[in-house]
Structure 1
């Protein structure tokens, strides 16, 4: 049979309870910190003592740049507004492959390609970018579209002033993104340089427009002028 004895029988019934040690008496502030207690004036101005830093800088010269009167130059590889580049004769480098639109993580680029024809050639490839839009309300300027471009048609400039009171104005069209015409360049469409293929353009063998290209553009402009006068 199990032992039925009380395990607490051997304990003394009148054992004294454990007491918490008494708290040490508070010491004066001078003994705790080693500094004398603040006087009346110190206590009076303590709430506003922090404003001393503010008052001391109120009359200093402010090192603020007066933008937009003074514009700070950007770094050489600054990621600003995009630009669609041209070949030396004026043909567009964009071939409408849409790889930049696929690479964009913000879905800010829209490209619609079209085929070049013998009557209207805008790039040395089979296709060209007929529609090219960049929505700068979405663009995060990451530069992934630049890395995806196989023809080096899309690059980024140092322009960073992209503001407008309307949302629609921040959706840039192709004519706003195309690089301005350089010295000697012709306005497409016009044929490729005679004797040259698409790969010759990317190898840098075309350094400018040929006389045949100039004659073609001159004849085209004259025909357009006659047609406009006949209307």
Structure 2
């Protein structure tokens, strides 16, 4: 005998078994609240930032850094390849010639040219890392520093003095001559490990002459400036991990 289409599990034809559907509709909201109720007793993993900032990944793309050679000369040669590679047009580079002649501007890098002007607009930068891939001298790398917020849009355009790596032990502030007897390629082959006595003597005499000129001009320094002064006091205070060269290729 064929089953009646109107029959239910109770075996009585013409009657609908609504008990299961009614109970499921009744407990459906309770099941939803049950998920919320169960999470009330779990430990909340709250990140206590900025009191306890989380460490970033080793290859994190943070703010940029212009690196130096072990004696303090700049690695940037002003080739502008980073600016051409930037898809957001956030980098501005203006190169200039190193001038070792008497009365010249001096030498800032081992190459023929150096980056006289270097700016990165962090209102445009998308931190893609294409600029550091394009750099032929490994002058530009990205640090682990990410606290770039500011309440002034103009201060988010970082200049060369803000992007240059701080002077480490054995480094001197440019301009000064290259290590005597070495060429540009010797710098990139790792033959320079620190500044020489001749370079230190040159910098000392240069600074002494600058002090005499400043004294001759009288008290004060009307030409002094503090470019890129930030409201965030620790924006230029890096740790060793944040400034290590080549950490983020």
Q: TM-score range by the shorter chain?
A: 0.7 to 0.9
* C-alpha distance 58-129 of structure 1, shift in aligned 2 (>3 A): same
Give the structure 2 partner of residue 89 of structure 1. 71
Q: Partner of 1:36: helix, strand, or coil? A: helix
Give the structure 1 partner of residue 43 of structure 2. 61
The separation in 2 between residues aligned to 1:70 and 1:28, in whole angstroms, is: 63
The separation in 2 between residues aligned to 1:36 and 1:92, in whole angstroms, is: 78
**C-alpha displacement at 1:191, in angstroms?**
0.8
1:152 equivalent to 2:138? Answer yes
Is the 1:29–1:36 Cα contact (8 Å) retained in structure 2? Answer: no
TM-score where L is the length of structure 1: 0.81
Q: Partner of 1:50: helix, strand, or coil? A: helix
**C-alpha displacement at 1:158, in angstroms?**
1.1
Give the 5 Å matches for 1:81-160. Answer: 81-118=63-100, 119=104, 120-160=106-146
The separation in 1 between residues aligned to 2:10 and 2:97, in whole angstroms, is: 90
Query: Which range moved further: 108-117 or 65-74?
Result: 65-74
* C-alpha distance 204-58 of structure 1, shift in aligned 2 (>3 A): same
**C-alpha displacement at 1:29, in angstroms?**
9.2
Alpha-carbon RMSD across the aligned residues, in angstroms, is 2.4
1:176 equivalent to 2:162? Answer yes
Give the structure 2 partner of residue 229 of structure 1. 215
TM-score where L is the length of structure 2: 0.75
Unmatched segments (≥5 aa) in structure 1:
1-23
Unmatched segments (≥5 aa) in structure 2:
218-249
Q: Provide the aligned length of Structure 1 versus Structure 2.
A: 206
**C-alpha displacement at 1:142, in angstroms?**
1.3
Is the 1:30–1:36 Cα contact (8 Å) retained in structure 2? Answer: no
Q: Give deviations 1:35-62, integer Å, cap 9, x for gaps.
A: 63536xx766654552222233234321
Give the structure with higher Rg (CA).
1
Give the 5 Å matches for 1:24-63. Answer: 36-38=20-22, 46-47=28-29, 49-63=31-45
Give the structure 2 partner of residue 195 of structure 1. 181
Q: Partner of 2:20: helix, strand, or coil? A: coil
Q: Give deviations 1:121-141, integer Å, cap 9, x for gaps.
A: 101111100110111111111
Give the 5 Å matches for 1:197-216. Answer: 197-216=183-202
The separation in 1 between residues aligned to 2:137 and 2:17, in whole angstroms, is: 73
Q: Give deviations 1:159-206, integer Å, cap 9, x for gaps.
A: 122211121111111011100000010000011111111111111111
**C-alpha displacement at 1:104, in angstroms?**
0.7
Give the structure 2 partner of residue 14 of structure 1. none
